[in-house]
């Protein structure tokens, strides 16, 4: 929907979400202000912060002081090849104050919302074999039926070689935490709000830091390998967004999927590293790294692509456990005070967990 405001990337590593027209924009801003109020001592809201992007107030470009943007954490910035999915949660994607026309419009977009409790709004999956991204927009999500929704979502966790069960399991655990929060609160109801899923698509960015000797021992890595605690270190290949003079932003608005938090090309991150270098001191590389879960760029270039399947599908359990996954709640233009549990959102979360568990079990 081209009328949706764009997501821009600020040179400081945050993202800027343009405030929607009233009442939606001010309502979303008010929601963030309430949750992130420095005076806040409500334990429900304090815990909620764990499940949102961090909020840094509002921002306006010097050239257009009347344009207001929410300044938010870029949840994708710690990933090398972020795989991203945006899933709208709840049985109703219209709020209690919606007009009859709005209700009709929302229901006709996806009549199954009531029954399924969620809708895939878009996804972007990194395929290791082709070193490219596959993107699906909201039409893909709306084409999913009760029968195909499981396969439709499993597509997000498939990298072209195998199913990333580690990322699915980690996602389920994160959703369960959010579900617990919803089961314990009766002050807010969320409509047309989304969960943003992000996992690491690149094998060379296995972000396990082997500073834990016991982890290394479990994996049979000789103690001598742990030079100063870190075996793996990143090369500092920093990519910075083009910024015009005065630090003004060259807007990189992602058209069509602007609502989708991070479909814009990943342009900036202090921690954006395109390659992993392996620091091995005084050891024969051969015997130590054959069993490694990381493959260096040089090896990739040496055409060891078939090895990738092993990397993903047979990772040691300890590494699977620590799969680098984020699940955050986003989009709060329709959040309302309440005195009841948000049963529609809870229904959607439970259904989504069931679908993910089915993908994992089969």
**For the segment 133-172, what is each residue's pLDDT rounded down to a tens digit?**
999 999 999 999 999 999 999 999 999 999 999 999 999 9
Cβ proximity of 249 and 64 under 8 Å: no
Domain that holds residue 39: 1-74
Q: What are phi and psi of 84, to 5 degrees?
A: -130, 135
Rounded Cα–Cα distance for residues 105 and 221 (Å):
58
Higher-confidence position of 234 and 204: 204
pLDDT at residue 271 in the model: 33
For the stretch 22-62, pLDDT in tens is 999 999 999 999 999 999 999 999 999 999 999 999 999 99
- Same domain? For 106 and 180 the reply is yes
- Same domain? For 99 and 125 the reply is yes
Asked if residue 4 is part of any domain, the answer here is yes
DSSP codes of every residue in 35-52: HT-TT---HHHHHHGGGS
Pair of tokens at residue 19: 């405030």
Is this structure's pTM higher than 0.75?
no
Q: How far is CA 3 from CA 79, 136, 252, 256, 259, in A?
A: 29, 19, 16, 8, 10
State which of 50, 74, 98 marks the end of a domain.
74
* CB burial string 296-332: b at 16+ within 10 A, e below: beebbeeeeeeebbbbbeebeeebbeebbbbbbbbbb
Least confident of 31-40, 137-146, 300-309, 332-341: 300-309
- Same domain? For 9 and 66 the reply is yes
- Same domain? For 85 and 186 the reply is yes
């Amino acid at each position: 929907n081209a009328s949706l405001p764009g997501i821009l990337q600020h040179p400081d590593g945050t993202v800027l979400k343009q405030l929607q027209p009233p009442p939606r924009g001010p309502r979303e801003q008010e929601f963030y202000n309430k949750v992130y109020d420095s005076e806040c001592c409500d334990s429900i809201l304090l815990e909620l912060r764990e499940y949102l992007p961090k909020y840094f107030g509002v921002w306006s470009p010097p050239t257009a002081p009347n344009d207001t943007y929410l300044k938010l954490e870029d949840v994708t910035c710690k990933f090398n090849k972020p795989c991203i999915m945006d899933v709208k949660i709840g049985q109703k994607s219209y709020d209690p104050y919606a007009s009859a026309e709005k209700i009709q419009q929302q229901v006709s977009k996806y009549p199954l919302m009531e029954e399924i409790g969620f809708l895939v709004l878009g996804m972007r999956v990194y395929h290791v074999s082709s070193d490219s991204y596959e993107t699906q927009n909201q039409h893909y999500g709306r084409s999913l039926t009760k029968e195909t929704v499981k396969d439709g979502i499993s597509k997000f966790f498939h990298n072209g070689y195998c199913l990333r069960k580690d990322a699915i399991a980690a996602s389920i655990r994160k959703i369960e935490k959010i579900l617990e929060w919803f089961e314990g609160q009766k002050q807010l109801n969320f409509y047309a709000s989304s969960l943003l899923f992000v996992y690491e698509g690149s094998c060379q960015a296995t972000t396990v830091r082997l500073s834990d000797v016991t982890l290394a021992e479990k994996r049979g890595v000789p103690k001598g390998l742990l030079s100063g605690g870190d075996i793996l270190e990143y090369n500092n290949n920093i990519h910075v967004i083009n910024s015009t003079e005065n630090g003004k932003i060259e807007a990189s608005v992602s058209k069509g999927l602007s609502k989708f938090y991070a479909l814009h090309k990943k342009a900036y991150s202090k921690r954006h590293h395109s390659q992993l270098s392996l620091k091995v001191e005084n050891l024969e590389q051969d015997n130590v790294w054959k069993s490694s879960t990381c493959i260096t760029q040089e090896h990739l270039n040496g055409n060891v692509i078939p090895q990738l399947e092993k990397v993903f599908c047979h990772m040691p359990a300890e590494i699977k456990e620590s799969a680098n996954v984020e699940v955050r709640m986003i989009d709060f233009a329709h959040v309302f005070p309440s005195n009841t549990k948000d049963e529609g959102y809870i229904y959607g979360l439970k259904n989504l967990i069931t679908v993910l568990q089915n993908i994992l079990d089969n």
